[in-house]
Chains A and B, each alone.
Chain A
């Protein structure tokens, strides 16, 4: 009989250690939670890294005698890549998008620009071409201007992407981590066996929260550290605020995972439910591109999704250095999801 027990014999400590053991003894889980997000960041970061500014391709139609002279004038412009094409080839180029704009010299000294005004690079080409030709024909600028080029980290795609991936990772590990572990224990009747002991049910659930929170530091640290060291992603906001956003987000997704797992009896049922819950967020919450690109009609729906709030808050903190007041709406949404799903899960939860 032993009555004197150390702190490691406290049930909450024991239960939390079980969570760690179950996680770290599953190499696949470790891969998907820690390694995969870093690989994804590396891959996307390399694919979308900033290159030297691209040159816009424009074509000059050769059928008119003035074509060659116009093309020569345009070749002085660094940002333009000028081709001499037949009328049909130029049309084809416009259709396939290889050519941003076609210049068709007209009789006399007038010109015709053919382009698609919905394509941003075509509109840019229109401005560049017109500016070059007008100046070559003697137009004088009235205001003196000077170009100073500023290429800032924080405005690149990788900077936009990293907070999105971070949010997506927090969601995945929260929902999967909790959902699968609980449904598995229920299916094996381990839950039933556990509640046959004097174990406190709250401590059982708390062990998931505790292990989540500590794993979180590794998860976020690894991904953010990689992004900062390798891609120079800036960290403009306050670190304590970032930690709090991550903690709340993680707990909020863990609650959602608990809610999903509260009744499911089989892995198949649980993973179906998880996908159903996560899919809209993968699509709408702005992981890979801004959520504001979706139509206004569905914006209210998108804005209340927990992942949207999490990613918005992360981006605002990491990229723009936003403070508490600015983030209040997002933090409120995250907190509401957390408490709402937690209490609903407690109400619905089946231990057998």
Chain B
């Protein structure tokens, strides 16, 4: 069925959607290339679900343009839907049906696609094929939702938080699935709160906040834009404070800030910054309660752009 090989699987230009009390999407642009996995990252309420549902043709924008596999919604929606696989943020499938029955139902809507039993095996629900959906665990339900998205052999896959609530092992299994899907030259748009997931799966990511794209690129690009490969965090023994300005002047430190009593330094060269930091703290006469370092992640990109944590409310 895959005939067209558009260079761009999904194109969104200047998308806007306002609800009575909030502008959910505020002039958002994005492009998903064919064969790529594109990630939408952002805190709660950033407008990810609104954006993805507009792309899925389930919500209408106030303005802006959406091209899905080169087509617009409202022309031949049914033909377009044959090519899309969709997993919504929260869907409860009928609890009285079994896993196999649910997939049979969804398979019946598509002209072509794999056998339901194959899809069940793909998401590793074979043991549960005969169980009622109502008796599945949260993670198993997520895998069922993914199976329902795959059962029409889609060209473009929309996944809204596909791994939220999964245990680490199931998440890794799901990543393998998504990677296998991608290696067939098909495209994915997904949203997630997990930075490791985005770094591992996504060729490119857009960080979205208040309905706008605030950063766009490959995970590596975005992280390298920080000009600091490491993040150094420390906390002081009870109620002590330290003057931040001298910290910023330490060789190898690119930025420093303090939130909730934790100091956070973005550091280019850890081996030079660390001794200097310890020296400076001793000079100010304060005691460390905690000291951590990690390699910079997308989370740090987000924090440095907005001053907030991704999973803050």
Contacts and interface: CB of A to CB of B under 8 A. Distances in A.
Interface of A: 1-3, 5, 9-11, 13-15, 17-18, 21-22, 25-26, 185, 188-190, 192-193, 195-200, 352
Contacts of B94: 18, 22, 185, 190
Given A14-B104, A189-B90, 10 more contacts: A1-B113, A11-B108, A11-B109, A13-B108, A18-B101, A22-B96, A193-B91, A196-B56, A197-B109, A352-B58
Nearest to A352: B58
A196 B57 CA distance: 8
Contacts of A10: 108
A188 to B, nearest CB: 4
B110 interface: yes
A1 B150 CA distance: 12
Nearest to B59: A352
Interface size class of B (residues with CB under 8 A): 20 to 34
B81 A196 contact: yes
B88 interface: yes
Nearest to B57: A196
9 contacts: A5-B108, A18-B101, A188-B91, A192-B58, A193-B91, A193-B148, A196-B86, A198-B109, A198-B110
Contact of A21 (B57, B58, B96, B113): B96
Interface in B76-130: 78-79, 81-82, 84, 86, 88, 90-94, 96-97, 101, 104-115
A25 B86 CA distance: 28
Nearest to B98: A21
B78 A21 contact: no
Contact of B96 (A25, A189, A197): A25
B86 A190 contact: no
Contacts of A13: 108
Interface string B263-284: 0000000000000000000000
B289 to A, nearest CB: 46
A196 B156 CA distance: 13
A243 to B, nearest CB: 30
Interface of B: 56-59, 78-79, 81-82, 84, 86, 88, 90-94, 96-97, 101, 104-115, 148, 152-153
A227 B96 CA distance: 33
Main secondary structure of the interface of B (DSSP, over half): loop
Contact of B105 (A15, A25, A192): A15
Contacts of A1: 112-114, 153
Contacts of B101: 17-18, 21
Contact of A189 (B81, B91, B108, B112): B91
Contacts of A5: 108
A190 B81 CA distance: 16
A294 to B, nearest CB: 42
A215 B152 CA distance: 31
A198 B108 contact: no
Nearest to A11: B108
B190 to A, nearest CB: 15
A2 B108 CA distance: 11
A312 to B, nearest CB: 37
A3 B112 contact: yes
Nearest to A197: B109
A148 to B, nearest CB: 60
B97 A21 contact: yes
Nearest first, the 10 A-B pairs at minimum CB distance are A188-B92, A14-B108, A198-B81, A197-B109, A25-B96, A199-B109, A196-B86, A11-B108, A193-B91, A14-B105
Contacts of A185: 94
A1 B84 CA distance: 16
Contacts of A17: 101
Nearest to B79: A198
A145 B270 CA distance: 124
Nearest to A198: B81
